[in-house]
Amino acid sequence: MQISRKPISSAIETACKHALASAMTGSEIYTHGKRRS
């Protein structure tokens, strides 16, 4: 059961990292865009 549990938590961790990275990048672009204009 541990083997089937690990990939799921790993996928969730990867998804969270991608979501966090895209959120940070998105807010960064948004902030830079507002500052320029």
- For residue 2, what pLDDT is reported? 63
For residue 14, what are its two tokens? 């990867």
- For residue 37, what pLDDT is reported? 59
Does 31 or 18 have the greater pLDDT score? 18
List, in order, residues 6 or more apart from 26 with CB less than 8 Å away.
none
pLDDT range class, residue 32, cuts 50, 70, 90: confident
pLDDT range class, residue 33, cuts 50, 70, 90: confident
* Mean pLDDT computed over 1-19: 83
- For residue 22, what pLDDT is reported? 92
